[in-house]
C-alpha cells in the first residue's frame, strides 16, 4: 500500500502485483523449519553413520550405531535407509518398512542426498526396493539374491 500526501487528503493505492495475500508455505525439512540441528550433533551423527558403514563387528553393532546417528540427526534419509536394510536382513520387516518409508520421505522432501557416495536417484531407487521387499516380507539370504533385487516383475 502506498500513501500519497498527508492527513485527510491522503490517497491509498494498492499495488495489485504484490504478493501479501499469498499464503506462505514452509518446506517440510527440519520439521517444517521448527527445529535447529546443532552443529556438534550433525558431526556426531555423520561420524556414527560412517562408523556403521565401515563396521565389521556385526549387525547388532551396526544397528546400534545407526540408531544413535538418527537420534543425533533425524533429518536426513540415508541412515534410515541403511537401518531399513539392517532390519530386513534380520527379518524385522515392520521396522524395515517404517525406516524405509521415513528414509524415502526425507530423501524426497530434501530433493538431494546427504551421503554423496551414491546419486540421489540411486538412493531413491534402492529405498523403493527396500520398501517393496519390506511390504512383501521377504529378503534374500545370499549375495546372488541381493544382486538380483530390482523392480522387474
Q: What percent of the chain has pLDDT over 90?
A: 66
Q: What span, in angstroms and rounded, lies between the C-alpha atoms of 70 and 85?
A: 15
Can you list the alpha helix ranges (DSSP code H) found in 7-77? 29-33, 39-53, 59-72
Distance set, CA 55 to CA 61, 95, 134 (Å): 8, 21, 24
pLDDT digits (tens, 9 = 90+) for 39-58: 999 999 999 999 999 999 99
pLDDT digits (tens, 9 = 90+) for 119-153: 999 999 999 999 999 999 999 887 777 766 765 44
Strand partners, 2: 13
Average the pLDDT over 77-87 and give the result. Answer: 98
Longest Cα–Cα distance in the chain: 84
Whole-model pTM?
0.80
The CATH number of the domain where 67 resides is what?
1.25.40.10
Domain that holds residue 125: 34-147
* pLDDT for residue 63: 98
20 in a structural domain: no
72 in a structural domain: yes
pLDDT above 50 (res 109): yes
pLDDT above 60 (res 4): no
* pLDDT for residue 90: 96
Q: What span, in angstroms and rounded, lies between the C-alpha atoms of 153 and 151?
A: 6
Q: How many domains does the chain have?
A: 1
19 in a structural domain: no
pLDDT above 50 (res 1): no
pLDDT above 80 (res 7): no
29 in a structural domain: no
113 in a structural domain: yes
Amino acid at each position: 500500500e502506498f500513501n500519497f500526501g498527508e492527513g485527510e487528503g491522503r490517497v491509498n493505492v494498492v499495488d495489485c502485483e504484490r504478493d501479501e495475500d499469498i499464503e506462505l508455505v514452509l518446506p517440510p525439512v527440519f520439521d517444517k523449519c521448527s527445529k535447529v540441528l546443532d552443529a556438534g550433533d550433525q558431526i556426531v551423527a555423520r561420524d556414527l553413520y560412517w562408523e556403521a558403514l565401515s563396521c565389521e563387528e556385526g549387525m547388532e553393532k551396526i544397528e546400534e550405531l545407526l540408531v544413535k546417528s538418527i537420534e543425533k540427526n533425524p533429518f536426513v534419509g540415508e541412515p534410515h535407509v541403511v537401518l531399513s536394510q539392517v532390519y530386513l536382513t534380520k527379518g524385522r520387516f515392520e521396522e524395515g518398512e517404517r525406516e524405509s518409508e521415513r528414509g524415502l520421505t526425507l530423501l524426497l522432501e530434501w530433493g538431494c542426498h546427504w551421503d554423496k557416495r551414491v546419486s540421489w536417484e540411486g538412493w531413491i531407487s534402492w529405498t523403493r526396493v527396500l520398501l517393496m521387499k519390506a511390504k512383501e516380507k521377504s529378503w534374500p539370504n545370499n549375495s546372488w539374491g541381493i544382486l538380483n533385487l530390482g523392480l522387474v516383475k
